[in-house]
Structure 1
């Protein structure tokens, strides 16, 4: 009888940043006021070089000088972000502002207005015309620290949070963020609760950041209409409010001023956020930094 052999199997490659943890098996805790659902708005304010580097485009394939897409992106900081500022103020919704540090030179009045509103200022790289994917360690460290220091200079304190431009990391990004003093990172989208990531010198908190309830991925990437996107926000809120009876959860909405700041889209966003704001007694409205701080203190 011919002998059979079993092929040698190798374990699948792992990132080593976190272990598997079923959400139904985790310790219970509450958000402030005994709330079970935390809600935050992440507004991306981005600055791009003219016809250089990578870019978010409305219409593909336009030859340089691409006036159409460049000016469309500029609309976000010149108009859309200001309309959103009024909407958030009117609804008394706190905001986490994810900024390219180049905005301090490009449109300082915009950051000043959100600062006066009480927004949290978090880091989103230097510009979205680049990402750090492929950077060597020293180059990436310089980027992360330069952005940190630019925000600290203007805000009087280092940013607690980081979102990589284009969600592009190197294998060392969490290590370098932790070593630069960041408290949380928003690149990883694997959970509805904050999760500790292992780094080579400690740990950094991964904050839930949505890749589906995100106007860039939904409206530009999947060509979903503004009405459907607003319905997605409402459905996400209602379902997560229900699920939070079992475990405390975090819901976020990720927005980009040049996309959702267009009036016809903002009309539908207004409807969704008015619906959520009317139920403020049921959930905790906070910034990403406030959520990260509470989790760090109460849900180790």
Structure 2
């Protein structure tokens, strides 16, 4: 008998991959591929924010400007690259960007990209807030996207992927139908809330430019190898299991030209297999999966 008791949750049950029902993505494809970009706005010399050289560095004019490069320059390089390759994308979008950088939102709308709720700003996180304030943050982000774009967002990624014990409940009650905050799987899975289920959609914290290059200080060649190796192995594994591949980006990281060159090479490799994959967005993944396996059907 164990001498310790693990704290658990009741959001989902254990489900080993080989014991799940088989299915296919649209067109009979076995691997979905999505580019998940994070567009963020920060508070000058205040609040939270990453640094280009030191984990946990204080907020300074230097690291504020480094992050602002992403919205002023890097994001536009990335848009052009996606246009050149004919790739859709989703963007985890801080709602205060509508006030500070509306041209980014306009380009996303013109491209037909997906807006995913990402809080108000990455200068703050929600897991330190009391329930009423957390609900207000979620609702403010949801309402801002709806008002500007004319379409309510379906998906949510919290700043720093941080959640309280009731975040999933609040997200579902405000109107979100899927989340990216739980990197527990390479397939979608349903999670319980106090009202209706909410879908978890895969989102990589491994093939992710921020932890790789900003926090672990690995170079772009290393990230390029990760993107390609993850894709090649998942394409192989997808013959047995339908899977979701995601590349996670931040324009203040990947948008610097020498890093963008590595992304360009990795995407070119992936596009060599475009007839074998479903190039899509997390929202389309969620919609297709929910059609095949409605909440409560399992």
> Which interval holds the TM-score relative to the shorter structure?
over 0.9
C-alpha displacement of 1:8: 7.6
| 1:67 match | 61
Going from structure 1 to structure 2, the CA distance change for 1:20 and 1:8 (only over 3 Å counts) comes to closer
Q: How does 1:176-255 map to 2 (within 5 A)?
A: 176-255=170-249
Question: Aligned runs of 1:47-58 on 2, under 5 Å?
Answer: 47-58=41-52
Q: Does 1:78 align with 2:72?
A: yes
Mapping of residues 122-201 of structure 1, within 5 Å: 122-201=116-195
Question: CA–CA distance in 1 between the matches of 2:58 and 2:50?
Answer: 15
**Deviation at residue 98 of structure 1 after TM alignment:** 0.8
Give distance in 1, aligned partners of 2:167 and 2:57: 33
Q: Is 1:31 paired with 2:28?
A: no
Instruction: Determine which of 90, 97, 101 is the counterpart of 1:103.
Output: 97
- Following TM superposition, by how much is the alpha carbon of 1:278 offset from its aligned partner in structure 2, in angstroms? 2.2
Shift of the alpha carbon at 1:67?
Answer: 2.1
1:15 matched to 2:29: no
Confirm or deny: 8 A CA contact 1:93 1:277 kept in the other structure: no
Q: Which residue of 268, 280, 283 maps to 1:286?
A: 280
Q: Separation in 2 of the partners of 1:149 and 1:219?
A: 33
- Matched pairs, number: 293
* 1:89 maps to 2:83: yes
Cα pair 2:187 2:242 within 8 Å, conserved: yes
* TM, length-normalised to structure 1: 0.95
CA distance in 1, matches of 2:75, 2:12: 35
- Quote the RMSD (CA, aligned, Å): 1.3
1:132-168 CA distance string (max 9 Å, x none): 0121111111111111000000010110000000111
Question: Displacement, 1:169?
Answer: 0.7
1:112 matched residue in structure 2: 106
Larger Rg: 1
Unaligned runs of 5+ in 2: none
- TM normalised by structure 2 equals 0.95
Question: C-alpha displacement at 1:257, in angstroms?
Answer: 0.3
Q: Distance in 1 between matches of 2:3 and 2:77?
A: 56
1:199-246 deviations in whole A, cap 9, x for unaligned?
A: 111210011110100000111121111011011001100000010111
Poorly superposed stretches of 4+, deviation over 6 Å: 61-64
State the Cα distance separating 1:288 from its structure 2 match: 0.6
> What does residue 4 of structure 1 align with?
none
